A and B are shown apart, each in its own frame.
Chain A
Amino acid sequence: MFAQSVLAESNSLYVGDMIFYIISFVILMLLVKKFAWKPVVKMMHDRAEKIANDIDSAEQSRNEASDLATKRQSELQNSRQEAATIIGNAKQSGEKQRSQIVASAQNDAQALKENAEQDAKQARQDALKSAQNDVANLSIEIASKIIHKELNADDQKALIDSYIEGLGKDES
């Protein structure tokens, strides 16, 4: 059982085996290097590189994101300010317009009032005038009826006018 297993019991050194194993081992190394080692190690190296790149790019996008956030913040601030200015302007112009409108309304009202006063005065004048005429006519009729005497209308009118003028002076 041990005959071929142990060197000491064998009659000669198996030099052939040694050379066979050395050559086979070298061939094995060449084959494994070509078909297994190189692609696998390359893949491992690629992966390590990819992970490093990913970490770098993650860092970069994080920085970009924080930049964008600051930018957004400042822009928000700007637009808020702008909005405040716009509102302020609008308030001012609204105030201005209001005072203008109020002023013009006051003017209009003043003018209307004046017109109305004038109209009223006119009307009073007219009414007085027509009343003078009526009174003159009436008094002529009355007088003519009473005294049966045809009185000159113009003389009568002048008489009554002077009388009414005297009345108006007493009134005012």
Chain B
Amino acid sequence: MGGDAFTFKLFGLMFDWTNIISGLIVFAIVFFLLFGLSRKLQMKPKGGQNIIEWIIDFTNGIVRGQMPADEAPHYNFMIFVLFVFVFVSNQFGLLFNISWNGNEILRSPTADPIITMTMAMIVMTLTHFAGVAKNGFGGYLKSFCTPYTAMLPINLFEEFSNFLTLGLRLFGNIYAGELLLKLVAGMAFSHGIPTMIVSLPLEIVWQGFSIFIGSVQAYVFVTLTSVYISSKVSTEE
């Protein structure tokens, strides 16, 4: 198909090697990170247990801040996994960005719009399910007609724009960060030692900034997720 990318076809579906490899590694990292942190649990926490409990408290706090108290516990786990996954994905490309024969092998999965839109789709699907589960199908449909029926197109458009902005915001931030890192790296090797000296501090500064951006975007992603879920489950009847 075009031969422009590092792809393969299976069961009539297109797969991209970069996403598959990076994604698998990120999933493995997330799992083994959380698995390793939750070993040797004690009543009096120490070491890794403190870290995972801090992360859980942090994401629980995000959910609690957005939702009615009786709804929050249902989504704690989802938000927790989503946060850790997006966070690790964002940072992954800063550590490992490997190209071979002009094809990228490893980079942040979230630097690909397909992946961020997939995550956004998972989230938006979840919010709609949550809305139906809470208010029933009738209540769910009615929520599009609040405060009056004339608002219906605006509400529908809002759903769509929520989906787009949620995915594209994450993609844009991470992709821009990695792109600039690559450009600075390219500049470093373009004219020998002088450009290296100039590029090194630039690269360091931008890497630090990208770590910050990646953390903030992970936080924003899960915060917006809980806001969307909350707006669906706490519709006033």
B114 touches A14 (CB 8 A): yes
Nearest neighbor of A51 in chain B, beta-carbon distance: B43
B85 touches A25 (CB 8 A): yes
Partner of B16, one of A4, A37, A39, A44: A4
CA distance A5 to B6 in the complex (A): 10
A30 to chain B, nearest CB (A): 10
B166 to chain A, nearest CB (A): 15
Size of B's binding interface in residues, CB under 8 A: 54
Q: Is B155 an interface residue (CB 8 A)?
A: no
Size of A's binding interface in residues, CB under 8 A: 39
- Interface SS, A side: helix
B35 touches A36 (CB 8 A): yes
A11 touches B1 (CB 8 A): yes
A4 touches B77 (CB 8 A): no
B145 to chain A, nearest CB (A): 31
Q: Chain A, 1-33, contact with B by CB distance < 8 Å: what is the 0/1 string? A: 101111101111111111111101101110111
B181 to chain A, nearest CB (A): 12
Q: Is B150 an interface residue (CB 8 A)?
A: no
Q: Is A35 an interface residue (CB 8 A)?
A: yes
Q: Is A120 an interface residue (CB 8 A)?
A: no
Q: Is B49 an interface residue (CB 8 A)?
A: yes
A21 touches B118 (CB 8 A): yes
A28 touches B85 (CB 8 A): yes
A14 touches B14 (CB 8 A): yes
What 6 additional pairs, Cβ within 8 angstroms, besides A25-B85, A27-B27? A17-B20, A19-B13, A31-B31, A37-B34, A43-B43, A43-B49
